[in-house]
């Protein structure tokens, strides 16, 4: 009987040697005459265990990790092909606490299936959402998404159903569905892993959005920094066309939906939805002022759904299982699941999909295992480079949009970056301003000039040059950027700066104490 071995093709797994592990297994299996099929799955999201090798047994999939190519002969000797004992043996992967304690909807298939196998997708519940959607009126599909409580997973948390409803109700011969896959925030990689690990899920979500809103063309705006995701998605789209899941009368919908991948060109600001639309139109990624909102006047002036990858990837399971099942998860107005990404100086980093409401401390300390360096956690930045720095003492916050907002923080897209006690928070605050200066689109003055002045002012504070006056100046500058910027880039940059100052004031003074004139 053929033995099935899984070795991830996810680029993070490959970044620590998964390709070499896969070739070693193929080579050694051939040498020993074993009948082995190596499946390149997505990553389970336990990135500290990558490369994670799994073998299918009668009891289930047994994991070994992290494995290096040089260990393969010894692993085979120890009985890798039958799930034999070895120092790297982890047991049944589904039963590891990290996996067993999650509620995976978006990531249900990621790490389980071959990402570019349409049959695998179908065998694991794929297309059930689109099939059910097609039995309903488009307006009913929109209502289902509204009733689920799904909010935009890109960070702003705007209800997806309201957006879809606007596009649905806006007349137009030509409408678009745009997937914002310009995930440029440090500490976020769930979009990349979803696209590399289960691209059909995104395709299905976009096809449902197209049916619900009457859109005939879709674009995925994907970062050039993710070449593997670009290749995987393009391959999956070709397969989807061949299966009749895209194109004329896709899946018997009676409509046409064409899907294209557009590659960005290294501009952080294009993650902002209106900048992304400008970029898709072949222009500089300059922010547009709103109104008009993209749902009414979007890409090329047409009604456009703009959603993040995980928003669209949540839709197939909502349609397949019903809005009520989704809305039963979560807390308050943060319903369903969020794909949290544990990153930075963390022992057990990766993706953890769970209902809203778990505390940040539980996620970072219990599941994340604390810092990789073994030193105490000092600061955690949640929600990307524009997110607040939280000190270890406030980490009992529950992970939901409102609780974070109440604590002057933002949950954003669920990216969590951990720092140990060696971090210099004044330099992190300076970096936030520097990053804004580097990546500002330049359209509005508070962001373009304010960020440059911000760097200079922090430099003066740290150097001990009139620190009191410069702290007041920095406060004024942040207020101006918050109130006067056209978009979140300039408007939220004060978040990391002011939170660093609020929670870690000692880092802004220590170096010049006693030396100031």
- Which residues lie across from 416 on neighbouring strands? 342, 382
First vs last C-alpha separation in the chain: 80
Out of 188, 232, 308, 493, the only residue in the binding site for other proteins (CB under 8 A) is: 188
d(CA 14, CA 192): 14
- Nearest Cα neighbor of 4 from 47, 85, 86, 61 is 61
> Does 282 interact with other proteins (rule: CB under 8 A)?
yes
d(CA 135, CA 186): 40
H or E segment and range at residue 104: none
Return the number of the residue (369 or 464) whose C-beta is nearest other proteins: 369
Number of alpha helices (DSSP H) and beta strands (DSSP E) in the chain: 21, 17
| Closest separation in Å from C-beta 83 to other proteins | 26
> Does 15 interact with other proteins (rule: CB under 8 A)?
yes
Out of 147, 228, 366, 456, the only residue in the binding site for other proteins (CB under 8 A) is: 228
| Closest separation in Å from C-beta 343 to other proteins | 3
> Does 367 interact with other proteins (rule: CB under 8 A)?
no
Range 17-76, binding other proteins (CB under 8 A)? 47-48, 50
| Closest separation in Å from C-beta 149 to other proteins | 28
Longest pairwise C-alpha distance within the chain? 80
Burial class (CB in 10 A: 0-12, 13-18, 19+), 376: exposed
| Closest separation in Å from C-beta 208 to other proteins | 22
Return the number of the residue (356 or 419) whose C-beta is nearest other proteins: 419
| Closest separation in Å from C-beta 389 to other proteins | 10
Out of 131, 234, 256, 372, the only residue in the binding site for other proteins (CB under 8 A) is: 372
d(CA 6, CA 53): 6
d(CA 89, CA 491): 48
**Cα-trace Rg, the chain:** 24
Distance from chain centroid for Cα 156: 13
Site string for other proteins, 97-136 (x = CB under 8 A): ----------------------------------------
| Closest separation in Å from C-beta 355 to other proteins | 22
Return the number of the residue (148 or 274) whose C-beta is nearest other proteins: 274
Return all residues near 281 (Cβ < 8 A) that are at least 6 apart: 299, 300
Out of 32, 70, 82, 224, the only residue in the binding site for other proteins (CB under 8 A) is: 224
Token pair in block for residue 393: 């003492």
Could you identify the residue written with the tokens 């922010």? 287
Return the number of the residue (124 or 284) whose C-beta is nearest other proteins: 284
Distance from chain centroid for Cα 170: 30
Return all residues near 205 (Cβ < 8 A) that are at least 6 apart: 129, 311, 312, 313, 314, 315, 316
Site string for other proteins, 388-427 (x = CB under 8 A): ---------------------------x-xxxx--x----
Out of 76, 178, 267, 461, the only residue in the binding site for other proteins (CB under 8 A) is: 267
> Does 192 interact with other proteins (rule: CB under 8 A)?
yes
Answer for the pair 342, 414: CB distance below 8 angstroms, yes or no. no
Range 425-464, binding other proteins (CB under 8 A)? 428, 431, 435, 438-439
Q: Under the rule (CB under 8 A), what is the footprint of other proteins?
A: 11-12, 14-16, 47-48, 50, 183-189, 191-193, 223-229, 260, 262-268, 279-285, 300, 341-346, 349-350, 372-373, 381, 385, 415, 417-420, 423, 428, 431, 435, 438-439
């Amino acid at each position: 009987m053929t033995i099935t071995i899984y070795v991830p093709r996810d680029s993070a797994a490959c970044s620590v040697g998964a390709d070499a592990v896969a070739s070693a297994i193929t080579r050694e299996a051939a040498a020993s005459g074993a009948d082995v099929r190596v499946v390149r799955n997505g990553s389970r999201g336990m990135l500290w265990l990558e490369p994670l090798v799994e073998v299918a047994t009668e009891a289930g999939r047994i994991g070994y990790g992290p494995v290096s190519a040089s260990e393969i002969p010894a692993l085979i000797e120890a009985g890798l092909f039958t799930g034999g004992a070895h120092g790297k043996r982890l047991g049944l992967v589904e039963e590891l606490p990290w996996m067993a304690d999650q509620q995976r909807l978006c990531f249900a298939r990621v790490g389980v299936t071959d990402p570019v196998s349409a049959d695998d997708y179908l065998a694991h519940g794929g297309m059930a959402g689109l099939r059910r959607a097609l039995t309903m009126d488009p307006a009913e599909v929109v209502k289902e998404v509204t009733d689920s409580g799904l909010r935009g997973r890109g960070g702003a948390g705007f209800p997806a159903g309201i957006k879809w409803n606007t596009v649905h109700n806006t007349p137009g011969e030509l409408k678009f569905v745009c997937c914002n896959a310009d995930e440029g925030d440090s500490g976020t990689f769930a979009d990349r892993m979803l696209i590399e690990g289960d691209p059909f899920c995104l395709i299905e979500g976009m096809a449902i959005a197209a049916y619900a809103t009457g859109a005939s063309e879709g674009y995925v705006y994907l970062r050039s920094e993710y070449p593997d995701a670009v290749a995987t998605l393009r391959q999956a789209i070709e397969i989807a066309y061949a299966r009749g899941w895209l194109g004329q009368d896709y899946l018997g919908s009676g409509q046409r939906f064409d899907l294209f991948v557009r590659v960005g060109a290294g501009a952080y600001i294009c993650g902002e939805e209106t900048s992304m639309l400008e970029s898709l139109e072949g222009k500089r990624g300059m922010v547009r002022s709103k109104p008009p909102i993209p749902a009414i006047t979007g890409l090329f002036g047409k009604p456009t759904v703009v959603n993040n990858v995980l928003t669209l990837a949540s839709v197939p399971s909502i349609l397949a299982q019903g809005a009520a099942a989704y809305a039963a998860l979560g807390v308050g107005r943060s319903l369903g699941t969020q794909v949290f990404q544990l990153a930075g100086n963390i022992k057990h980093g990766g993706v953890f999909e769970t209902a809203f409401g778990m505390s940040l401390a539980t996620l970072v300390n219990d599941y994340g295992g604390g810092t990789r360096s073994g030193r105490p956690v000092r600061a955690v930045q949640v929600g990307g480079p524009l997110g607040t720095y939280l000190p270890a003492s406030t980490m009992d916050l529950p992970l939901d949009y409102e609780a974070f907002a109440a604590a002057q923080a933002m949950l954003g897209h669920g990216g969590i970056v951990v720092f140990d006690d060696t971090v210099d928070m004044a330099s992190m605050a300076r970096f936030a301003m520097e990053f804004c200066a580097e990546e500002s689109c330049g359209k509005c003055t508070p962001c373009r000039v304010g960020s440059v002045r911000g760097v200079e002012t922090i430099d003066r504070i740290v150097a001990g040059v009139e620190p009191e006056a410069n702290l007041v100046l920095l406060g004024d500058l942040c207020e101006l950027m918050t109130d006067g910027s056209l978009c979140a880039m300039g408007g939220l940059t004060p978040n990391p700066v002011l939170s660093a100052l609020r929670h870690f004031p000692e880092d802004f003074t220590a170096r010049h104490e006693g030396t100031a004139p």
